[in-house]
Structure 1
Amino acid sequence: MRILLAVGCDQYDYKPLSQLHGAESDAAAIFDHLVTKGWGEYDKARSRLLRSPSLAEIQNEVSAILFNDGRVVEFTFFFAGHGGVKDGAYFLCAKDSDVSKLSMTSLSMTQLFAWLNEAKVAQTNIIIDACQSGGVVHDISTLLNPNVIGKVGSLALSILAASGSDEYAGEIDGGGICTSALLSCLRGDIIVQTTRPTLDLVEVGKVVSETLGHGNQTPVYWGINLYGRARLAKNPKFAQGAPHIAEAWASFTPNEAANDHIRANADKIWGLYISLARGFDADRFFEVLEPLCDHFANEIAIASSFVEGLANTFGPRIRQNGDLYDEAQLYAACVASLMKLIESGNVADQVSQDLIRRTVRCVNEANEALLSQLRQDKYALLAPRSGFSDLYFLPLRVLSVFGWIGAAAQAATLLGQPTLLSRTAAADLVELILAEYSQSVVAVSDEQAPFYVAFVAGCDTLDCAEAAELTSGYLFSTLCDSRGQLAASRLTGDQALAFLDAKISGNYADIDDTLARPTSLLPALILHYHKMGMPDLVDRAIRTFDHVHMNIFTPFTYRSFCDPVVDGINYSYQVGHSIWRTADLVGEWRNIRSKIDDDPALKIASLRVGALLVSLLRPDREAWFNFN
């Protein structure tokens, strides 16, 4: 059951609360659109519109909705009027509220959250168009205590607040500025997205915040939902048919056994969420998520909904850090976690395709942002306190950007939506980095191999053959200079420093355990030189790599490619023994490639993209199926 309670309060009995002129009309407009006109498919008999009510009238209505006549599955609460923060808590002011007794005469958000928890509402949307409404975020600790994570309804909450905790909420043309922008999104005057039949409050809140963020008030949006994607309203701009709110949402809500399992992992989930303030850590994410997905292996709908809920919850949190490549990694990791469950057309496939689209969009935004930064400051790729360490880590950073560009280009093409990624911005960014950072396109670590493989394969899609050739040339030249010596993946800072010392002196004897033996970057470079029609350049230099061990690893199935340890075959070679020239490796590669193509998993687009993304998230493996 879906119910809306819309409250608008223009009239106030006690000063200094002034009379308002647009709160009631805002609530009426929201109610009219979502209930009367049916765009929210809320229950018309039980949904309510309150005009300038007393505190008791609000409390009685909330009580009747939440605790009478059956469980509420989805509840949307809209409030327009006065509000304020006192002693770290947020209060909504009713007609009879007295600011001198605010805690006794106003609706505390802490109390509302407690009611929602007790009523076990599966999904709640809260929209507040009032001054200092961003202060509502202070009260979410009531709902987000680790002890209650996993209870039905306790982690399915989305909030849109009209202003920050120290800002006023303005009015225009007889209505709230925030509500006006919200209605523009709900009516389709402002496009939120066109790919899903429903709109959720977090994605709407993001657009509202971006629309109004340059004025005197900045709307705050927030959401946490472990049970799928919330549905605020039908999407008037849905491009694939009539917008609708599916009846099957409840089936995506975990059953009691599934809910108990989520509850048992509450501390890990909450700890992961908190850690996002320091950036996205793919290893930690997989450590928490993989056991949960494995537990739900026979309940694909629940697992898919859970992963989608994490994406919807964690994405906005990461975006606040300002690193869009991190947000792309989150969505990519969510795709990776579903790989074992994907079958063509099933719910895991559908959720994964949506997450892939989000990954590509984030990479696109990140490309455009980084391009703008580099045009203003050519040193923007350097670490904030860069120094000697960037001699090692900057080449990794450059290849990482290239790898995500290449992966995004391939992902968009495989989904049949190549325009998701701006080829112009991607090509311009690569060209600018190669111009300004050519001395940092250096082969230092085998960790660069998966990013290089993804990039050169993506260059076919981006028509960037020259960029692929330049990048290959810089890497191959510097690899020749070090006689094939590369660092292993995932070195610590101290290990990286020791490697740089050895690289400068040419004496690697004391750091043997930190070297890549065998290497995957060298065979990738050799094979790409063959593809470029330049095998003679490699053949003339191949003596430089005498005795260097190379390896090409392929899994038995790419479904398991995200596992910490993957079962498969290592095809190992040594220069000067089994490999004497480019043609020798190419001959071996053709046999390997034919076996890769036999994996049915790679016939499913979302699974193929997932495997590609895994190689960037866990850069100790390469997506060799990219090499044609």
Structure 2
Amino acid sequence: MRKALVVGINDYPVNPLDGCVNDAVKVSHVLKTHEDGSINFHVKLMTSPPQTITKPVLRELIEELFAHKNEIALFYFSGHGSITTTGGYIATQDAAKYDVGISMDDILHLANDSPAKDKIIILDCCFSGAMGSPVHAGGGNIARLGDGLTVLTASRSTESSIELDGGGLFTSLLVDALRGGAADLLGNITPGGIYSYIDKALGAWDQRPIFKTNVSRFTSLRQISPQIPLETLRKIPVYFPNPQKDMKLDPTFEDTNVDIAVEKNVKTFKDLQKLFSVGIVRPVGEEYMYFAAMNSKSCRLTSMGYQYWRLVTEGKI
């Protein structure tokens, strides 16, 4: 089972953040299903308002999230964050001067001890980069992540998180990534893909997200339709039995050559053009596949194409 706890808290007594509830609702909505409408995460959405989210309430929910042996346990928080001499905190409704909310170190500890296969923590709050770098780590401020744990935060431990149009800039990009912007060719959206998408969307002077992970493989957080049909990807070794060898083309591959076009070659060429569109194949000596065929040139696999050739030949696709 995939479980997600999504929390948005607006009414922090010192610094209200009006967009936090809306951000949480958006994240909850996109996590619930895959693109085809099939069930993805079983989401518990907690927002204040209208609910009352105190420190004991949120602590109990976080403990419950990480207590069981699920496939994935995901915690998302949008609200106010604080940094003190004892570390980072996410603020709850009952925040007070010397009791802001729940310690990021405590959340890290619960996630590290969780029997869940994969643990994901996503924070859109000020000073969120303190997550994963406990102050009292027995040897300095060093990130200590247990097996299968990934942390993605909006800002560094010294920064306030940036807002855009009443919501968090980070969450806006996160939702776009989950909707498909971060998908690979197979339609998988992984934490690494999400980080890469957000990082590329930001300029050189923009606030950078923080990504920390201790995993041996990336799990997919959401699935969308592949960019090209899987049956087309699986034909790569058919068209390129030797991945180092070019495939010869000629005008019989192009269907506009009505008098000489060969049906089998035309079908092959349509697949090759799809592979070209996603960077798996490139023409040799020409800019476009059309001219490679018309001028009897050839095409070859790109470096990414070789990677997918290997995945298909090893039965991984």
Q: TM-score range by the shorter chain?
A: 0.5 to 0.7
3-state DSSP of counterpart to 2:18: coil
Structure 1 stretches of at least 4 aligned residues deviating more than 4 Å after TM superposition: 36-40, 416-419, 421-424
Cα separation, 2, equivalents of 1:160 and 1:223: 9
Name the amino acid aligned to 1:110: D
Contact map agreement 1:40 1:233 (CA 8 A) in 2? no
The Cα of 1:159 is off from its aligned counterpart by 2.1
The Cα of 1:193 is off from its aligned counterpart by 3.3
Contact map agreement 1:163 1:169 (CA 8 A) in 2? yes
Q: Deviations over 1:411-449 (max 9, x none)?
A: 998xx756737969x99xxxxxxxxxxxxxxxxxxxxxx
The Cα of 1:156 is off from its aligned counterpart by 1.0
Cα separation, 1, equivalents of 2:228 and 2:221: 18
Is 1:107 equivalent to 2:64 in the alignment? Answer: no
Is 1:26 equivalent to 2:26 in the alignment? Answer: no
The Cα of 1:127 is off from its aligned counterpart by 1.1
Cα separation, 2, equivalents of 1:138 and 1:200: 22
Cα separation, 2, equivalents of 1:84 and 1:129: 12
Cα separation, 2, equivalents of 1:421 and 1:606: 12
Cα separation, 2, equivalents of 1:28 and 1:194: 25
The Cα of 1:32 is off from its aligned counterpart by 1.6
Contact map agreement 1:195 1:240 (CA 8 A) in 2? no
Out of 382, 393, 410, the residue aligned to residue 244 of structure 2 is: 410
Which residue is 1:235 aligned to? Answer: 224
Is 1:197 equivalent to 2:197 in the alignment? Answer: no
Out of 78, 81, 85, the residue aligned to residue 80 of structure 1 is: 78
The Cα of 1:31 is off from its aligned counterpart by 0.8
Cα separation, 1, equivalents of 2:80 and 2:100: 13
Cα separation, 1, equivalents of 2:227 and 2:135: 32
Q: Deviations over 1:233-272 (max 9, x none)?
A: 123554337xxxxxxxxxxxxxxxxxxxxxxxxxxxxxxx
Cα separation, 2, equivalents of 1:26 and 1:114: 26
Alignment of 1:401-480 (within 5 A): 410=244, 417=275, 420=279
Q: Which has the higher contact order (CA 8 A, sep 6+)?
A: 2
The alignment covers a number of residue pairs equal to 251
Cα separation, 1, equivalents of 2:176 and 2:33: 17
Percent of aligned pairs with the same residue? 23
Higher-helix-fraction structure: 1
Which residue is 1:181 aligned to? Answer: 173
Contact map agreement 1:410 1:461 (CA 8 A) in 2? no
Alignment of 1:144-293 (within 5 A): 154-188=146-180, 191-226=181-216, 228-235=217-224, 238-240=227-229
Contact map agreement 2:54 2:92 (CA 8 A) in 1? yes
| Unpaired runs of at least 5, structure 1 | 143-148, 242-344, 346-352, 354-408, 428-459, 463-604, 611-628
Which residue is 1:55 aligned to? Answer: 55
| Unpaired runs of at least 5, structure 2 | 138-143, 238-242, 248-271, 287-297, 301-308
Cα separation, 2, equivalents of 1:116 and 1:32: 23
Contact map agreement 1:120 1:154 (CA 8 A) in 2? no
The Cα of 1:140 is off from its aligned counterpart by 10
The Cα of 1:26 is off from its aligned counterpart by 0.5
TM-score, normalization: structure 1? 0.35
Q: What RMSD over aligned residues (CA atoms) do the two structures have, in Å?
A: 4.0
> In 2 relative to 1, CA 71–421 (structure 1 residues): closer, same or farther, beyond 3 Å?
closer
Contact map agreement 1:199 1:233 (CA 8 A) in 2? yes
Which residue is 1:478 aligned to? Answer: none
Which residue is 1:565 aligned to? Answer: none
